[in-house]
Chain A
Amino acid sequence: MTEAKRIVIASARQAALEDFTRTLATETGAAVHRVDAAARVPDLVREASPALVVVDGVENGRGLDKTPREVVMDVLAVDAMVHTAVLSPLPGDEFHETYEGLGVLMGLPLEPTREDARKLARALADIFAPPA
């Protein structure tokens, strides 16, 4: 993957996602930028021009100060070309309905594994692959 140089991880529990984040960085070769407040996401997207923003949808007081859908909308408002992935507890149909129309690349579990990171990296690589 040559174009995806930067990835943003938007989460208030960065330490808990360290394995996932480190694997995603390794698999994509991208520089990772971490942000722990939803209010700072738009500025970071403007500054870093990332290829991907991973939004942590954990709740119960451990989450960002906006809903993950709001954060995704904030990202798209800055640059609709930026891809997003969301860590979410929602089952498939509910996830699709919640994020319908926002072009979210992938929903991932709240406790994403290294394999989830590899899956996300592959999905991102597929998007940036040159046309056949």
Chain B
Amino acid sequence: MDKTLIAVPSNTPGGMDAGIGAHFGHCDLYTLVEVADGQVGEVTTLPNVPHQQGGCMAPVQHLANNGVGVLIAGGMGMRPLMGFNQVGIDVYFGADAPDVRTAVEALLAGRLQRFTPEFTCGGGH
């Protein structure tokens, strides 16, 4: 894997040991993990943006504007998933991971599934 920035919706205060936010748009913040050649580099945090009804695309654009290439999420709706696909952010399903570290390690080991419509709130149907 080339150098990329992974975002994980997290509980305060964020970081590798933080719990994962159940719904990406409503999380406290995002833990941003820089990965190069399969190795974890710098870890930072990014505050979330307000998520109003109908404003669910604000977090999508927020992450895209901050250079995120991959998102590990536990839950989201169909529209933001389509938005992430549209802006080129790959989304993986990470609901089973207890913390950011476990989720990122699972991603790097190839154990996470792509976030498909079946995982979305409403199921996409």
Interface residues of A (CB under 8 A from B): 73, 76-77, 79-81, 83, 99-106, 123, 126-127, 131
Residues of A within 8 Å of B121, CB to CB, are 100-101
Q: A102: which B residues are within 8 A, CB to CB? A: 77-79, 122
Cross-chain contact A101 with B78 (CB below 8 angstroms): yes
Contact A126 B82 (CB under 8 A): no
How many Å from the CB of B68 to the closest CB on chain A? 16
**Minimal beta-carbon separation of A106 from chain B (angstroms):** 7
Q: Is there an interface contact between A76 and B54, defined as CB atoms closer than 8 Å? A: no
Given known contacts A73-B78, A99-B122, A106-B53, what 11 new A-B pairs fall within 8 Å (CB)? A76-B78, A79-B86, A80-B57, A80-B80, A80-B83, A81-B61, A81-B86, A100-B77, A103-B56, A103-B80, A106-B54
Assess the A105–B82 pair: CB atoms within 8 A. no
| A127→B54 contact, CB < 8 A | yes
Among A77, A83, A104, the residue within 8 A (CB) of B82 is A77
Shortest C-beta distance, B119 to chain A (Å), equals 10
Q: Given A81-B86, A100-B122, A76 and B55 touching (CB < 8 A)?
A: no
- B55: chain A residues within 8 A (beta carbon): 126-127
State whether the Cβ of B13 lies closer than 8 Å to any Cβ in chain A. Answer: no
Interface contact A101-B54, CB-CB below 8 Å: no
| Across-interface contacts of B54 in A (CB, < 8 A) | 83, 103-106, 123, 127
Which of chain B's residues have a CB closer than 8 A to the CB of A76?
A: 78-79, 82
- Interface footprint category on B: 20 to 34
A131 vs B61: C-alpha distance when bound (angstroms): 13
Hey, which chain A residues are within 8 Å of B53, CB to CB? 105-106
A101 and B83 in contact (CB under 8 A), knowing A106-B54, A127-B54, A127-B55?
no
A116 smallest CB distance to B (angstroms): 15
Q: Which of A73, A81, A106, A126: most chain B CB closer than 10 A?
A: A81
- Taking CB atoms, residues of chain B closer than 8 Å to A104 are 54
CA distance A127 to B57 in the complex (A): 10
In the complex, whether B124 has a CB less than 8 A from a CB of chain A is yes
Closest Cβ–Cβ distance, residue B109 to chain A (whole Å): 29
* Chain A neighbourhood of B120, CB < 8 A: 101
Instruction: Please give me the residue from chain B that is nearest to A131 by CB atom.
Output: B49
User: If A101-B79, A103-B57, A103-B79 touch, does A127 touch B52 (CB 8 Å cutoff)?
Assistant: yes
The 8 A-B pairs of least Cβ separation, nearest first, read A101-B77, A105-B54, A101-B122, A100-B122, A103-B79, A80-B82, A80-B83, A101-B121
